[in-house]
Structure 1
């Protein structure tokens, strides 16, 4: 499999205070099965759909009490060089380039507006083995209160083109690599002040409304939605441990396709 282009979302993992509870929730909601826990890597456990790796779960590192959350990783051919660019453009490197056995090299970082994200330089682990099928990752959006900072930082580090939505009611941008959109960026307006900037990952489901009903029956909470847009019917949720994520049914669409203006 060819390595993804620099800046392409290539992997997602979640850190949970109760990883067994997270396995139960996402296993029932998204149909995930799980590989063996890897104690040599802090209990890291991969999730699969039809035998293909789609995400991973782990407990927080010993001695840390971080909130449960999902992390999205962006591909890099040289994680150390990307870490340098992150600093040069006002970001913060939280975890320096760290080799993970033969799997690859990771960096954890934060943009100038506070959005945490990962960088992954692939070794034997190239990332998602399935994409945009039920249970798998399909999309992500940066939710931030500092959209101008995000729109400057991420293109400078990863070479994205930026297109801005022509809509006075919503401050939204698309980041692309050539013709391919790879990330969205949304200004946070109606979120409680205690909700930090974050990268919201979307998982594909065959029926958004059924997925919302299932998630809430399992102890999750609905943030907003379900909403039908030209790209699908989606909802924003929090799992029982408070980690934010979205589900989307790309087969149920509606509304007029939005217009975007390319930013210089």
Structure 2
């Protein structure tokens, strides 16, 4: 478990689900992770042991299926936004309330967030909390160049059995990753994937299925533990990780 009050530049610090049926999503994640959802006047903060871990926001125009948005911490939002536009990114929303919603050159959506009074997730890397995030992109070199220009990531290739995977580091510490989508990903748009930890991956996947969700990618081994890709009933995809 890691208690968080500050985040390194470019580190995933928050996750938000935009969905047309927020009430159903809250019930699903409460049953899966034990989240307690608190209404904030139009959106809800999900808490784990009293600490904020994510947001669930009702939105009639949400994508179908809905998607999790990863927030990346920056020390200077205006400067990071300028770098983003210069590197070929696209602004979608903001700046407002300390963040901008944007997309990278391949269309993957993410947010830049400058922590203020609210610093982001209060805990990471424990069951029910975010532990990792990665951008899945069809062109690894373009993604690497873009995120290096915007957030200064140092890049470290990781041998993963023929998969083109890069760990992004900030200040020498691993903060997130990049996976190049090959022919097996045909038809899947570029996107950011958020990971939540679990103490028992097989049991968690069974719970997902029991609650009406799906497990499109069954548990498999990785250098960082066992992983599965799952979704809640409305189709909000995310990954579950059981640390090795």
State the shift of 1:199 in Å: 0.8
Superposition RMSD on alpha carbons, in Å? 1.5
> CA offsets, 1:114-166, max 9 Å, x none?
11100111121100111111110000111111222111100111011011234
Task: Give TM-score scaled by structure 1 length.
Answer: 0.86
Higher relative contact order (CA 8 A, sep 6+): 2
Match of 2:28 in 1: 25
Cα contact 2:155–2:166 (8 A) shared by 1:
yes
SS of structure 1 residue aligned to 2:114: strand
CA distance in 2, matches of 1:53, 1:131: 10
Say which one has the larger Rg: 1
How is 1:89-168 mapped onto 2 (pairs within 5 angstroms)?
89-99=87-97, 105-166=98-159
Would the alpha carbon gap of residues 248 and 153 (structure 1) be closer, same or farther in structure 2, given more than 3 Å must change?
same
Equivalent residues, number: 239
CA distance in 2, matches of 1:165, 1:50: 34
Task: Give TM-score scaled by structure 2 length.
Answer: 0.93
Cα contact 1:86–1:92 (8 A) shared by 2:
yes
Match of 1:58 in 2: 57
> CA offsets, 1:161-215, max 9 Å, x none?
011234572111110013211111111232340x321111110111001001100
Match of 1:260 in 2: none
Matched, 1:12 2:15: yes
CA distance in 2, matches of 1:53, 1:119: 18
Cα contact 1:83–1:96 (8 A) shared by 2:
no
Stretches of structure 1 lacking an aligned partner (at least 5 in a row): 100-104, 254-264
State the shift of 1:69 in Å: 0.7
Would the alpha carbon gap of residues 182 and 48 (structure 1) be closer, same or farther in structure 2, given more than 3 Å must change?
same
Decide which moves more: 227-236 or 150-159.
227-236
CA distance in 2, matches of 1:71, 1:237: 16
Over 4 Å off, 4+ runs:
none
> CA offsets, 1:46-65, max 9 Å, x none?
001111101010012x6x34
State the shift of 1:2 in Å: 5.1
Partner of residue 191 from structure 1, selected from 185, 189, 192 = 185
Match of 1:237 in 2: 230
Cα contact 1:19–1:57 (8 A) shared by 2:
yes
Stretches of structure 2 lacking an aligned partner (at least 5 in a row): none
